[in-house]
Amino acid sequence: MTTTELTVKTTPIPGLLVFRLPVHGDARGWFKENWQRAKMTALGLPDFGPVQNNVSYNATRGATRGIHTEPWDKYVTVATGSVFAAWVDMREGDSFGATFWIEVDESVAVFVPRGVGNSYQALADGTTYTYLVNDHYQAGKVYPALNLADETAGIPWPIPLAEAEISEKDQHNPRLADVEPMAPRRTLIVGAKGQLGRALQADFPDADLVDLDELDVTDPAAVAAWPWNEYGVVLNAAAYTAVDAAETPDGRIVCWSANATAPATLAGLAAEHRFTLVHVSSDYVFDGAQSLHTEEEPYSPLGVYGQAKAAGDIAVGLAPRHYVLRTSWVIGDGKNFVRTMQTLAGNGFSPTVVADQFGRLTFTSELSRAVRHLLDSEAPYGTYNVSGSGDVLSWADYAKRVFELSGRSADDVTPITTAEYAAGKTLSPRPENSALALAKIEATGFVPRDSLEQLEEYVSAD
């Protein structure tokens, strides 16, 4: 008994994979690599991170386990004997009710994604099969199940069910028409009350929403009590953005807690619970010496805020499934630079505005759209720059345009230098150049909108 090539085959059920395993045998018996992470992930097996190994022994031929659905991924193989295995997709969506079956012996392994019902019928006495799962079993929880004789599934059991050994409970499982499909793992927005959090709610209308008063990610007790395993995506829109206050003794502590410790905690949870972590970063992780910042540029923060954000980026980068969206000059629903300029213009003031810091505005609606795109397109995990596109301008340039859109003359805005603005104030150092290179996210199919076009829409919407 010898097969030499590890292969994988897809099935009518999305995500259900069948592996053919090399089995090496002689007169003494056989040997196989039952699960081989590197080889199998290279062939398309998700790196599903098993945490528990279960073994099921069937004493007699005909023992049949009901069609059970669990909220975890499972990797099934046979140790002795053989089973007829059947699966029914019990997940919400177009594939609900799709079926697949196959005989499984020592040369076959099957990856079963979360929400796909599975059943096994022993074809020999003393059959043992084993399975890896990536979440711990919790007694007392009830998950969807399906009657073995369901007509719509039409499973061709080799041993008629009337002759099979079936538990009393499995004999009374519902038909497919009465099964409530298993919903996908939910999305959580952390920092839902902020400018970005509010924008994300439009693109993720079914997400659970929390802010500091509902969930403090810096509080170990609150973190321990939260049901993280129920989430497939966590969007971290929470941040400490008082750049100048971060330079004070008290502000420094709060800034590091929110911008470094909290993201590090979320990264650890993402690894443990297998959710995708989306985190928003800042141009302040750079010193601004480069005219255009790429994702590969080394960190070089000038102040406490930038240092804390850089630390948060590094921590999130350790999560197996993560997106870091590095952005600049964020404008959304709430207090911001554009709203301030509109107010000044409307009240007859003529401000002085810094003219030697350069970048592009990023509207929260655009940032949220980028998050939605990266998740929906399943773009490679990693860091992506996201901002508006178009010309790189100064704060004074944008202020002049806001004044024009507000019916005032651009000449009513007086350009000044950063040094002039900072005279007599305690301020955090600012990067001179904040413009971000956008080629990486554009390569995923995302087309950033022009900042000035969005600015006009934003101002005229009032």
> What element of type H or E holds 66?
strand 64-68
Known catalytic membership, residue 299: no
**What's the DSSP call for residue 260?**
I
Residue 88: what are its φ and ψ, rounded to 5°?
-130, 130
CB burial of residue 208 (10 Å; 0-12, 13-18, 19+): middle
Instruction: Give the separation between CA 157 and CA 443, rounded to whole angstroms.
Output: 49
Which single residue is written with the structure tokens 């919400």?
Answer: 92
Of 347, 233, 247, the closest CA to residue 279 belongs to 233
Measure CA 121 to chain center: 37
Active site residue 120: no
- Per DSSP, the residues of 244-313 read TGGGSHHHHHHHHIIIIIHHHHHHHHHHHHTPEEEEEEEGGGS-S-SSSB-TTSPP---SHHHHHHHHHH
Q: Which residues in 423-458 are b (16+ Cβ under 10 Å) and which e?
A: eeeeebbbbbbbbbbbebbeeeebebeebbebbeeb
Per DSSP, the residues of 319-375 read SSSEEEEEE-SEE-SSS-HHHHHHHHHHTT---EEE-S-EE--EEHHHHHHHHHHHH
Which residue of the set 75, 120, 131, 284 is catalytic?
131
d(CA 101, CA 118): 10
Which residue in 57, 68, 299, 381 is the catalytic one? 68
Rounded to the nearest 10 degrees, the angle between the axes of helix 262-273 and helix 304-316 is 10
The residues carrying an active-site annotation are 68, 131
